[in-house]
A = this chain, B = another copy of it.
Amino acid sequence: MINIAIIGFGVVGSASYDLTIRNAGLIEKKVGDTVKVKKIVDIRDFDDHPARELLTKNFDDVVKDPEISIAIESIGGLRPAFDFTKALLMSGKSVVTSNKELVATHGLELLEIAERNNVSYLFEASVGGGIPIIRPIKQCLAANEFEEVFGILNGTTNYILTKMREEGLPFAEALKDAQEKGYAELNPAADIDGYDTCRKLSILSWTTFGKFVDVENIDRKGIGDITAEDIEKAKAAGRVIKLIGRAKLTDGEVRCTVAPEVIPLGDPLAMVDGVYNAVVVRGNFIGDAMFYGQGAGGEATASAVMSDVIEISRNMVASRGRV
């Protein structure tokens, strides 16, 4: 049996738990062993949850449990996620995360700590929710010199822009609708002003070019200034406005920008509507390849988190056979 822990039992953490229950049979088949959630850490109470007996408020219960070999960090934010992740890796546990802020800020350091401790730090879920992006770029397209990677990386802003276009709404009303539907936070600045896209772009740029670009050094423009007239003008010209994160390699330097762009309808990114995300990567042999799907939401993100857990578990099972 492979024991895992979930640190942070919010939307992603609880969907990941659900996945381990609902898809237990297929996970066992793919891993060659059962994968079971042994402990869940959260400071909140979940007295009515079926997993209530696994819950603890004490992080040490996980880090000091030698039977737990993989932890899902789904707390989000920098603190305490950073300290927790370091402690987990240094105690010989692999960590899987959907935390884009942490990966964009301390990913390099955490990967080095993982390597020194002979464990894994995987973060497929940190960009594009459940859409396979990180591993396809690193493995399936490994033979390419990359020129550019770009895409629609934030579902909230894409929902708002889609709503404005389809219903002719002004920005404020489309934002209000997104907030009512739970697609936008009450304080929507992280999405609207492009910070969230910057974080994901930083991770994408690092994955694609092997070069780390600090989020602070990304040229950033959000969608708050876009008017119904801008959208209408684009529409009349057969175009749509999308918030695009773009990392481009020029003379060995990676330049990252986040800004609204006007895109012709024939472009594959033009049809990426609502809360969907898509990433295009351009390589010298593949040309353009695009990955498309739900960029957020508990279930889609849990798909990526648990696929990373399965990957690590498979490797653990395979290495048992080795001398």
Chain A residues within CB distance 8 Å of chain B: 15, 19, 22-23, 26-27, 30, 124, 130-132, 135-136, 139-145, 266, 268, 270-273, 283-294, 299-300, 302-307, 309-311, 322-323
Cβ A19 vs Cβ B143 within 8 A:
yes
CA gap between A22 and B11 in the complex, in Å: 46
Contact A23 to B307, CB < 8 A, known contacts A266-B271, A268-B271, A292-B292: no
Q: Which residue of B lies closest to A137 (CB)?
A: B132
Contact A289 to B130, CB < 8 A, known contacts A136-B136, A284-B22: yes
Contacting residues, chain B, for A289 (C-beta < 8 A): 130-132, 291-294
Contact A142 to B310, CB < 8 A, known contacts A132-B289, A286-B294, A292-B268: yes
Contact A143 to B303, CB < 8 A, known contacts A292-B268, A323-B323: yes
Contacting residues, chain B, for A26 (C-beta < 8 A): 143, 145
How far apart are A265's CB and chain B's nearest CB, in angstroms? 8
How far apart are A207's CB and chain B's nearest CB, in angstroms? 13
- A–B Cβ pairs within 8 angstroms, 20 of them: A22-B284, A23-B144, A131-B286, A132-B141, A135-B136, A142-B306, A143-B303, A143-B305, A144-B303, A144-B307, A268-B271, A286-B303, A286-B304, A287-B293, A288-B293, A289-B293, A290-B291, A290-B292, A291-B291, A322-B322
